[in-house]
Amino acid sequence: MSAYKDYQINRRHLLLGAAAFGSLGAIAPSLLASGAAQAAGVTGTVMTGSHWGVFNAAVKDGVWSAVSAWDKDPHPSAQLEGVMDSVYSPSRIKYPMVRKAYLEKGPDAPRDDRGGGEFVRVSWDQALKLVVNELKRVSTTYGPQGVYAGSYGWKSSGKLHNCQSLLRRMLNVGLEGKFVNSTADYSTGASQHMMPHVVGTLEVYEQQTAWPVVVESTDVLVFWGADPVKTNQIGWTVADHDAYPYMEEFKKTGKKVICIDPLNTETAKFFNAEWVPIRPHTDVALMLGMAHTLYAEKLHDEEFLDEYTVGFDKFLPYLTGETDKTPKTAEWAAEICEVPAAQIKELARLFKSKRTMLASGWSIQRQHHGEQSHWMLITLASMLGQIGLPGGGFGLSYHYANGGAPSANSPVLSGITDGGKAVKGAAWLTKAGAATIPVARVVDMIENPGKEFQFNGKTDKYPAVKMAYWTGGNPFAHHQDRNRLVKAWQKLETVVVQDSQWTATARFADIVLPATTSYERNDIENVGDYSIKAMVAMKKVIDPVFESRSDYDIFAEISKRLGKEKEFTEGKSEMDWIKSFYAAAEKQGKAKKIDVPAFDDFWKAGVAVFPIPEKSKKFVRHSEFREDPLLEPLGTPSGKIEIYSKNIEKMKYDDCGPHPMWYEPIERLGGPGAKYPLHIDSAHPQSRLHSQLCGTKLRAGYAVAGREPCLINSKDAAARGISDGDVVRVFNDRGQVLAGAVVTDDVRPSVIRLFEGGWYDPVEGGKAGALDAYGDANCLTPDIGTSKLAQGNCGHTGLADVEKFTGTLPELKVFTAPKGA
């Protein structure tokens, strides 16, 4: 063909095309404008902090490209790469979204497809209009208890962008406090209510006998259901990791470490500890067996019991079997806990003869009748008589936030408040909102509005909530009995979820608001929950991605639309607030004669570290009480440790008696009527913070067949024809999940481990009973209160079975797998 002819044909088509396209310009508006973008983004290193510690972010042209630990972090967490990844993960919520049916029909829309993932993008204006209208409608129609804002979860570090405080702040100033709040948490639900009755204080979140003292004076270090090597990676504020060097030091001493745990944990391996593979859920029985041994062999410390405790005489008849014809002997205990009687006695004698620290974790109280566990532990410790002595007694927070890391002499930053000051009326005396529920009873509340419930000696009624606003949390990960939750969730008229990630909870929302991560905004935080050894400038690393906005900005805007912008912001910008929190610390610094740098110097340096006085390194918990129990009484009625509690006696609860007792839980290995043969150990994950970071590269390091790993003992695996790497179905009457088998004898027989926090991925989103393709342990656990006393959650109660999965695998998408050709 001649070039000229080609040209003519082409030209004709070009004209046709151009004309067609000309009027269709709007079909494809140009995405490109002439002129290169303004100066490329920032390049440099930014220091900031997170639950995982202080770290440096390398930024290149405005993009976060690498992460490295703070050079002063004694034991950086391997999860930092995951932290960076979470910012750029395809699981980011990019735009405001509304559930399709809800967009069409509002709160009257059918709710059975909630969780099905049918969302439509909307503008911020449209999304916020919906949110504000709903807040107003619900509170007008249903009164002050219509909106649930208990919103529990681990959110992000930072004194300003504390999304849960900000949510309540908005509701307090903008909606006159018309919301239902929550109390307590999923970490220590049972013990935080029991400990005040026993030792008159919170105990679980209090500074432990300092590690240097443990290193020096403890002869036998017992980790009872605790795995500090794993769990000390994270902190509620910014993790300091200060416990790790001390754990190294203790290891070097060669002194005895014992791990009482159904698993051979990271901690057990680190210390080369003696592993006591107790049958799960039977710790109280084991403790009773030890206690009985001490008493029978006259090893119990009568003087200590007499001077520092009350009620041992009332507990004794139960221990000896006088009351129920069942002496709690080592033999009796062995039957229940599977630790041989001889070993039980040996341990009791060992603990008595040597300076022993009983460091207990919270798994043993996150169970049916969990209140008994630490009560009995303290009773045992009282019989050993070493409470208040250097390196002796018990500690309930060595595994959490680096408890025992010596406290610095440092100022405490103030932070954004929940605006409750604004709420008028006497209600503030008795409620922290229009009503409050124990946090783990949220589904019970939704299912049973108006129902009476017992809680720590009081009777209360569940409010009738119609709307939930959730931020900084993922109940479709942390709440037990997933299918029950899915079903109950449908009773809510409107659900708003504000997050940076497409968590399962976001998928179960009607309105989804994209929040920035900590790394796309400025904030400030203390470092070290117990040491409080530094303050870190949480400097913005990159600009917000997509259309995400900071939690502060979102709630300020909603407050504005409720007519209360000034009350919410107090006229302050983000940096104004941060400076004001710092100013409070400077003020303390002056009063305590601590050198606190000027704000600009601090912000430039990025971190201010404070000295740790020698005195802190010598801190012994309860030593003051031991030295002078009259001058330093405990906060109990008697001023002493209450092995028998009159307060609890008066409650007359059938599931929580006046002294520690062994109660059969609803289901346990070897228990009466146990329907399934394996105990589910749903401990905190190694490479996540609960469910945070599940959508990142870290998963590649642990996922098996693309799913949550399920550790199974070789005997149990062999009996079921399961090999390492197989996809397995874990199931019981409450639910079913797929997981990837890891055959190992690090888990004792008849126990499987499925870390909590795996992202719920139902094959049929929104359908109760659907198979979860990823491995969310809480599909299998029961949603019951620990007892009427604490109404805590029971994540560590539950039996199941496992089988090799032979069906068609539900499609699993992992973005690192390029396909096609």
Partner 1 sequence: MAPHSSNLTSRPLIGMLIALILLLPASLQAADQDILFAATPFTFHTGPDKSSTKAGRLFTAARIKVRERRPGWLRISLNAWHQQGAARVLYALPGKRILVAILKKSQTQHLKTLQQMTDADTDLVWKQVSYEAWIEDGGFAPSREDLWKPAWELFSTRCTVCHQRRIPHHYKVNQWRSYLKIMGPRTGLPKDKQELILTFLQYHASDMTPESASPPQPVPQPREAGR
Partner 2 sequence: MADRNIMPMPSSDRPLIYRWLSGLFARELDIEQIELYAAPDGRAFLDRLAMDDAFLPLVSAIRGILEDEQALHGRMLDLRAAYARLFLGAGGRRSAPPYHSAYASERGLLYQTEMRQMTDMLRELDLSVVDTLKEPPDHIAVQLSILSELAQRALEAQNQAPPPERTQASRRQIDFIDTHLLSWLPAFRDDCAAHDPSQFYSLAAAAVVTFLRRDRDDLATAEESEN
Q: Give the footprint of partner 1 on this chain (CB under 8 A).
A: 150, 159, 162, 164-165, 168, 181-183, 196, 199-202, 205-207, 236, 310, 411-418, 420-421, 426, 428-433, 436, 456-458, 584-585, 588, 591, 630-631, 633-639, 646-647
Q: Which amino acid, residue 11?
A: R
Instruction: In whole angstroms, give the CA distance from residue 331 to residue 327.
Output: 9
Bridge-based pairing of strands 356-360 and 393-395 is: parallel
Residue 23 or 430: the one with the smaller Cβ distance to partner 2 is 23
CB of 695 to partner 2, least distance (A): 9
Stretch that binds partner 2, among 48-56, 86-94, 667-675, 708-716 (CB under 8 A): 86-94
Instruction: In whole angstroms, give the CA distance from residue 697 to residue 675.
Output: 38
> Which of partner 2, partner 1, none lies near 811, with the C-beta cut-off 5 to 8 A by kind?
partner 2
Q: In 3-state terms, what secondary structure has residue 370?
A: coil
CA angle at 529 for the pair 526 and 533, rounded to the nearest 5°? 55
CB 679 within 8 A of CB 669: yes
Dihedral-angle region of residue 402 (phi above 0 means left; psi in -120 to 50 means alpha; beta otherwise): left
| Sites for partner 2 among residues 30-59 (CB under 8 A) | 30-37, 40
CB of 160 to partner 1, least distance (A): 10
Closest CA to 310 of 642, 712, 743: 642
Task: Say whether residue 430 binds partner 2 (CB under 8 A).
Answer: no
Dihedral-angle region of residue 693 (phi above 0 means left; psi in -120 to 50 means alpha; beta otherwise): left
Task: Say whether residue 26 binds partner 2 (CB under 8 A).
Answer: yes
Stretch that binds partner 2, among 27-35, 148-156, 223-231, 750-758 (CB under 8 A): 27-35
Residue 408 or 773: the one with the smaller Cβ distance to partner 2 is 773
Residue 124 or 653: the one with the smaller Cβ distance to partner 2 is 124
Residue 303 or 811: the one with the smaller Cβ distance to partner 2 is 811
Closest CA to 379 of 298, 316, 327, 457: 316
Residue 403 or 709: the one with the smaller Cβ distance to partner 2 is 709
Tally Cβ neighbours within 10 Å of residue 649: 14
CB 390 within 8 A of CB 213: yes
Q: Which one among 47, 58, 95, 417 touches partner 2, defined by CB under 8 A?
A: 95
Q: What is the token pair recorded at 331?
A: 């033999």
Instruction: For 754, list phi and psi in degrees, rounded to 5.
Output: -135, 100
Q: What is the token pair recorded at 275?
A: 């592993």
Instruction: In whole angstroms, give the CA distance from residue 553 to residue 545.
Output: 15
CB of 181 to partner 1, least distance (A): 6
Stretch that binds partner 2, among 88-96, 336-344, 565-573, 649-657 (CB under 8 A): 88-96
Is the C-alpha dihedral spanning 718, 724, 729, 731 positive or negative?
positive
CB of 319 to partner 1, least distance (A): 22
> Which of partner 1, partner 2, none lies near 254, with the C-beta cut-off 5 to 8 A by kind?
none
Name 260's bridge partners.
224, 276
How many CA atoms does the CB half-sphere of 735 hold within 13 Å?
32
- Residue written as tokens 């393709």? 773
Residue 296 or 812: the one with the smaller Cβ distance to partner 2 is 812
Closest CA to 284 of 785, 751, 661: 661
- Which helix (H) or strand (E) element contains residue 710? strand 709-712
> Which of partner 1, partner 2, none lies near 591, with the C-beta cut-off 5 to 8 A by kind?
partner 1
Q: Which of 154, 318, 362, 759 is catalytic?
A: 154
Instruction: In whole angstroms, give the CA distance from residue 512 to residue 120.
Output: 10
Residue 199 or 497: the one with the smaller Cβ distance to partner 1 is 199
CB of 776 to partner 1, least distance (A): 26
Stretch that binds partner 2, among 92-100, 408-416, 420-428, 715-723 (CB under 8 A): 92-100
Residue 224 annotated in active site = no
CB of 645 to partner 1, least distance (A): 10
> Which of partner 2, partner 1, none lies near 85, with the C-beta cut-off 5 to 8 A by kind?
partner 2
For the chain, the first-to-last Cα distance in angstroms comes to 34
Q: Which of 152, 224, 469, 760 is catalytic?
A: 152
Residue 398 annotated in active site = no
Interface residues toward partner 2, by CB under 8 A: 9-11, 13-14, 16-21, 23-24, 26-37, 40, 60-61, 63-64, 85, 88-95, 97, 100, 103-104, 117-121, 502, 507, 545-547, 696-697, 700, 759, 761, 811-816, 818-821
Q: Just list the catalytic residues.
A: 152, 154
